[in-house]
Structure 1
Amino acid sequence: MQFSEGRFEQLRDGIWRAVLQPAAVNVGLVAGSTGALLIDTGSSPAQGARLRAAAEQRAGVPLLGAVVTHAHFDHYYGLAAFDDLPTHGHESLATALRADRVPVEAAELGFAPDDLRAPNRPLTLARLIDLGGRHVEIVHFGPGHTAGDLVVIVPDAQVIFTGDLLEQSAPPAMGPDCHLKQWPAALDGILGLVNEHTLLVPGHGEPFDRVLAFTQRAEISAVYGQVEFLIGQGVKLEDALAAGQWQYDDATIAAVLPIAYAQLASEGKVPRPTLRLL
């Protein structure tokens, strides 16, 4: 998990990103005339501390806080390095630290779970941060990739940090804690803000424009819609991969199908035998 302060790349005036391993995660840095805000914090408290020092040097103004876009290790586990500053995240992130996977991930990354911290300024819907001559908007448009995804908007620069609601380097991570049905609606909140000049910075991969964002929204919606259709046709989980028409590769779909079937089952939608008309 090495981090080099020389890895910060300027995207627009006063806005940078760096890519941190082991998950090739994008972290953002936004500076105004009096302060700066870091977006996502790396994969461990130690990595967060190195990131903090590099961010302060790059920004040239005091770091006023950090925001985490969601409760996955590569975005969240460095937060302890910023606990003396205001740290912002969705209110669900404190509960996420009690998940069974947290001790396992901490052990794999080489630190104790007790070293982790939740955001000390949790939010429900939105918050405005004044950086001096520039403000940053932090918004929860609803569940999607996780229950507590946040989007960080820099209106004057037309830059939006999307976290893992959008991806560029691989298909979106539709894991067991995603909310597949609601995900497209969360993306609609982002898409309502974009124009031809908007730069979208995903959780992983290269920044991109609105075309890829609209495409990915349609693809995620199509996955849910196709599963819903197959269940209505009585197709069982084990047959769904072969029976469906999919926007993503087989490995991606095979991983998300059990999640999608389970989520639809929670709504009372299960495959039922269909009668063949003679």
Structure 2
Amino acid sequence: MQFSLTPFEELRPGIWRAVAQPAGVNIGLIVGSTAALVVDTGSSPEQGARIRAAAESVAGVPLIGAVVTHSHFDHYYGLAAFDDLPTYGHESLAAALLADGLTAEAAELGFTPDELRAPNRPLALARMVDLGGRHVEIVHFGRGHTAGDLVVIVPDAQVIFTGDLLEQSAPPAMGPDCFLKEWPTALDGILGLVREDTVLVPGHGDPVDRVFAFTQRAEISAVYGQVEYLIGRGVKAEDALAAGDWPFDDDTIAGVLPIAYAQLAAEGKVPRTRLPLL
């Protein structure tokens, strides 16, 4: 596994972004007049330490904490390097360190699960962090990409770190732990804050604007809506790719269809055989 980190680039005064490999994840650095905060921490404790050192060299003020936007490895597993500071994440993140498959995932990334740390300042809804002349709002708008997505808002700079609720470098990752029906509602929380000059930093890829965000919100909603429509017509999962009108490429849709069908089945919505009219 190849680990790397680009230099931090300044997006707006005191707002910085670096990109960590593997997975091309965006790492944020928010600097105020007296303190700084890191957003997401990379894929391993060792990479987290490198991110911390790079952030401290750029910030020029003490680093006072780190935020993890959700539970996936590329955002979360570097958090141990910040454990002597306040670390913020959704209250669901501790349970993610007990998940099946963690031992194998950690081994592939070059460490053991006992090296990982959960956030020491877990939150359910929101938290504010004062950086001196700049405050940062950490908000859970609801379930979407995962059960514990957090958004990091810098109101004075009109910058929002969205985690993987938005992605620019590829279609959004709609995995088995996503909540397709609720995801657009979580994005509505972000979109309610967005102005024409707002910069949105997605979990992966280049910063985007409100048009991109509105479009991706509509596309995610369309996936769920199209599956619901096909189920109502009696179309089974194995036939849905050919039968539907989809906003993403075939590989993306083929991956999400079993997930969408299972989530709708949990609501009691399954394809029914349609009897011919006499």
Instruction: Give the TM-score normalised by structure 2.
Output: 0.98
**1:201 counterpart SS class:** strand
Amino acid at match of 1:18: A
Aligned partner of 1:199 in structure 2 is 199
Amino acid at match of 1:201: V
- After the TM superposition, which residues 1-278 of structure 1 pair with which residues of structure 2 at under 5 Å, given as runs? 1-4=2-5, 7-278=7-278
Between the aligned partners of 1:143 and 1:119, the Cα distance in structure 2 is 18
Between the aligned partners of 2:259 and 2:67, the Cα distance in structure 1 is 28
Q: In the TM superposition, what is the alpha-carbon distance from 1:126 to its structure 2 partner?
A: 0.2
Between the aligned partners of 1:32 and 1:22, the Cα distance in structure 2 is 29
Q: In the TM superposition, what is the alpha-carbon distance from 1:193 to its structure 2 partner?
A: 0.3
Between the aligned partners of 2:244 and 2:271, the Cα distance in structure 1 is 14
Q: In the TM superposition, what is the alpha-carbon distance from 1:258 to its structure 2 partner?
A: 0.3
**1:260 counterpart SS class:** helix
Q: Is the 8 A contact 2:199 2:208 kept in 1?
A: yes
Count of matched residue pairs: 277
Indicate the larger mover: 187-196 or 98-107: 98-107
Q: In the TM superposition, what is the alpha-carbon distance from 1:7 to its structure 2 partner?
A: 1.1
**2:70 counterpart SS class:** coil
Instruction: Give the TM-score normalised by structure 1.
Output: 0.98
Between the aligned partners of 1:100 and 1:12, the Cα distance in structure 2 is 40
Q: Is the 8 A contact 2:4 2:22 kept in 1?
A: no
Amino acid at match of 2:152: V
The 3 A distance-change label for structure 1 pair 90 and 82 is: same
Between the aligned partners of 1:81 and 1:25, the Cα distance in structure 2 is 17
Q: In the TM superposition, what is the alpha-carbon distance from 1:2 to its structure 2 partner?
A: 3.9
Q: In the TM superposition, what is the alpha-carbon distance from 1:101 to its structure 2 partner?
A: 2.6
Deviations 1:156-183 (A, max 9, x none): 0000000000000000000000000000
Deviations 1:28-54 (A, max 9, x none): 000001100000000000000011011
Q: Is the 8 A contact 1:8 1:16 kept in 2?
A: yes
Q: In the TM superposition, what is the alpha-carbon distance from 1:80 to its structure 2 partner?
A: 0.4
Between the aligned partners of 2:42 and 2:235, the Cα distance in structure 1 is 41
Between the aligned partners of 1:101 and 1:237, the Cα distance in structure 2 is 27
Q: In the TM superposition, what is the alpha-carbon distance from 1:273 to its structure 2 partner?
A: 0.6
Q: In structure 2, list runs of 5 or more residues that go unmatched.
A: none
Q: Is the 8 A contact 2:126 2:140 kept in 1?
A: yes
Between the aligned partners of 1:142 and 1:270, the Cα distance in structure 2 is 26
Deviations 1:40-77 (A, max 9, x none): 00000000001101101100000000000000000000
Between the aligned partners of 1:149 and 1:2, the Cα distance in structure 2 is 24
**2:142 counterpart SS class:** coil
State the identity as a percent. Answer: 80
**1:51 counterpart SS class:** helix
Q: Is the 8 A contact 2:14 2:30 kept in 1?
A: yes
Between the aligned partners of 1:273 and 1:127, the Cα distance in structure 2 is 49
Q: Is the 8 A contact 1:3 1:51 kept in 2?
A: no
**2:127 counterpart SS class:** strand
Deviations 1:188-236 (A, max 9, x none): 0000000110000000000010000000000000000000001111111
Amino acid at match of 1:200: L
**2:160 counterpart SS class:** strand
Deviations 1:91-110 (A, max 9, x none): 00001111113212101001
Q: Is the 8 A contact 2:40 2:76 kept in 1?
A: yes
